[in-house]
Amino acid sequence: MEENKDRIKALFIKQAQGKATAEEQEQLLAWLLNEPAPDALPEVEDVWIPGTGSVMPAPDAAAVWNTIMEASPEAIVIPWWKKSGFRVAAALIPLIGLASLAVFYYREKNDRRVFVNNTKQVQTIQLEDGTVIRLNQHSRLSLNKSFTAGNRREVWLSGEAFFTVHHQATKPFIVHAANLVDVNVLGTAFNVNTANGTAAVVLNEGSVKVNAGTPAQPVSLLLKPGEKASFDAKTQVLSRQKVDTLFQTSWKYNLLAFKSEPLKIVMQKLAEQYDYKVAFEEKDMEQLLFTGYLPTNNLQQAILTIEQSFNLKFILQHNIIHVNNKKIL
Residue pLDDT, tens place only, 86-109: 333 333 434 434 333 333 345 555
- Dihedral, CA of residue 260, residue 264, residue 268 and residue 274, to nearest 10: 90
**Residue 2 pLDDT grade (very low, low, confident, very high; cuts 50, 70, 90):** low
Integer Cα distance of 306 and 313 in angstroms: 9
In total, how many domains does the chain have? 3
One domain for residues 91 and 116: no
One domain for residues 195 and 304: no
Predicted confidence at residue 217, as pLDDT, reads: 86
- In a domain? residue 91: yes
- In a domain? residue 76: no
One domain for residues 117 and 244: yes
With 0.75 as the threshold, say if the pTM is over it: no
Residue 152 near residue 171 (C-beta atoms within 8 A): yes
- In a domain? residue 141: yes
pLDDT mean over 231-253: 93
**Residue 153 pLDDT grade (very low, low, confident, very high; cuts 50, 70, 90):** very high
One domain for residues 165 and 286: no
Predicted confidence at residue 175, as pLDDT, reads: 96
- CATH of residue 269's domain is 3.55.50.30
Ramachandran class of 318: left when φ > 0, alpha when ψ lies in -120 to 50, beta otherwise: left
Residue closest to 210 by CA, chosen among 194, 196, 195: 194
Q: What is the span of the domain harbouring residue 36?
A: 2-71+84-102
**For the chain, how many residues are written?**
329
Interval 249-287: pLDDT, tens: 999 999 999 999 999 999 999 999 999 999 999 999 999
Q: In the listed set 215, 248, 281, which residue is the last one of a domain according to the structure?
A: 248
- In a domain? residue 79: no
Predicted confidence at residue 83, as pLDDT, reads: 42
- CATH of residue 199's domain is 2.60.120.1440
Predicted confidence at residue 41, as pLDDT, reads: 63
Q: Amino acid identity of 62?
A: A
Predicted confidence at residue 98, as pLDDT, reads: 34
